[in-house]
Amino acid sequence: MALPIGTTAPDFSLPSTSGEIFTLSVHLKNKSGILYFYPKYFNPDCTKEACAFQDNFHVFDDRDILVFGISRDSIQLLSDVDGRVAKLYRANIPLTNLTARITYRIDPNQKIVGVYTNMLNAKAHITHMIHQLSL
């Protein structure tokens, strides 16, 4: 079960594709963000999800919302190899080495203001987040 709306987003640091260490409290200081957890890089559904976020990047960029993907794979976006961050965000699948497909929207005060969970429909995550922005 995902973290509830209104919860303070747990802070974390992870290596990123840029070679930098991403720290939530630093990179989202006074900014909104989307964190989407996904099971496996290069999995067809995960690739569709990442491409959907990339194709709609302008929607978030226009609103100054940063978007970050997290999986347990080696570095592709943000790498959570040991699953520590997935566990903080309740995005781990018990008894497996996989991350659940959960998307969080975080406000500039690092509060969770939107959550969407759906393992089977990867593209629905982007649709849901865009719809929340229009409310």
State the virtual CA torsion across 98, 74, 35, 48 in degrees, nearest 10. Answer: -80
> Are 133 and 63 a contacting pair, CB within 8 Å?
yes
DSSP for 9-66 reads PPP-EEEBTTSSEEEHHHHTTTSEEEEEE-S-TT-HHHHHHHHHHHHTHHHHHTTTEE
Known catalytic membership, residue 51:
no
Query: Which of 14, 34, 46, 86 is the catalytic position?
Result: 46
Show which residues are catalytic. Answer: 46
